[in-house]
Chains A and B, each alone.
Chain A
Amino acid sequence: MHIVVPIKQVPDTARVKLDPVTGTMIRSEADAVMNPLDLYAVETALRLKEQYGGWITVLSMGPKSAARSIKEDLAMGCDEGILLSDKAFAGSDTWATSYTLSTVIRQSLSFDLIIAGERATDGDTGQVGPGIAAWLDIPVATYVSRILSFDGNRIEVARLTEDGYERLSVPLPSVLTVVKEIAVPRLPTLRGILKARSLEIAVRGKADYPFQDEYLGLQGSPTRVVKIETPLISRKGAVVTIKTEEDLSQAAEEFVRFLSQKGLI
C-alpha cells in the first residue's frame, strides 16, 4: 500500500509570545515547525504501514527550509520525502495548493491513500485535503477519529461531527483527514533520526511536472487577501483576588452581577 501524507510548515504557535500591552502575537520569535496537526496524519499512516505493509511518501510545498519538517517525518518512519519549492508556487491559496499537490500525486505517485491533518494551524482552513480529493475525483472522509477496519479495498472509518461519530465505508483510493483523537504521535527514534539523515529529499519545481501555469501560485489563486488587521485581544476585565472568606463571598456576588448584567442568567 502506498500512502501519501501532505504536510505543511507553519509558524510555531507554542513559541509565539503575546505582547502584554496589545495582546497581539510577536512574530519574530515564531520559529517554523511542521503543522502540529499533521503529526496525527503521519502517525496514522505509520500504523497502517506497520499493520498492512507499505510505503509512505511525505509531500510538502513551501520554502527550501521545509525540508527540515519532512526529515522529522522520515525520522518517525516515513520512507520518502518530496518538497515542492519554486517561486512559481508562491502566494497559492487553497485552490492553487490543492491543484499543485494533486498534480504531483497524479503524475508521479501510484497511491492508495492520502492522509492529511485536519487543517494547518496558520491558515486554519482545512480546505486542501478535500480539495485534493476533488482534483483527483476520489472520495474524501474528513475529521476521521478512528479507523475501524481495512480489507485492502475499502476502509471503514468513524468521523467526528457535531452530532456524534459517523461511520463510513470508503473505497480506495481516497483521502482521509484525521483529528487528534485518532492516535498519539510517536517520537522519532535514534535509529530513525540517523536513517533520515542519510535520506535525500527530492526538491522539485515547476519544470518537473506538467502543470498548467495559469493555475499556479498567486496567479492561479481565485481569492485575494485585501486587508489584514491585528485585533486587540487584551480585554483587561475586572479581577477579584481572594484572600479571605469575605473575598470569596464578594467574588461570587460580583460574578453573579456580571452574569446578570450581560444577560447570561
Chain B
Amino acid sequence: MNTKLQPIFDTHKGKDGALLPILHDIQHALGYVPEEAVPLIAKQLNLSRAEVHGVITYYHHFRQTPPGKHVVQLCCAEACQANGSEALAAHAAKRLQGADVTLEPVYCLGLCSIGPAVLIGEDELHAHVTPQKFDALMNGLGVKK
C-alpha cells in the first residue's frame, strides 16, 4: 500500500488542506479508499485516523469498498424527477440485479434541461435516458441481463 500511496503523497507535499486531493487521487488510482490507507494518510498529514475516517465517510463521493466493474450514476434530483427519473431508477435497479455494476443516485449532473441524465464511469454522460436507452447503454457495456 505504501508504495502505491507514496507518489500521491509526493504530488501533494506542502499543499494546504491536502486531504481531499489525496483521497481523490487514491480513489482515482484504486477505485476506492482502502481501510489500510487510512493510517498512512493520517501519518502523512499529521492527522488522527479518526479525522481521516471522518472525512472519507462524510463525503458521498468517497467509497470504502471496491466498486463493481462499472459505476453508473443516475441523477435523482428534481429536474430529472420532472422527466421521469424515478421510473428509470426502478428500471435500472431491476436491470442491474446481480450484475457487477455499482448503481448510485447522484444529485444533479447539471444536465437539467435534458434529463433523465446518467453518468457512466468518471466522465461519460448521457441525456434523455429512457428505460430502452438505458438497456442499450448497458448492453453496449456488455452488462449481462
* A joins B in a complex: no
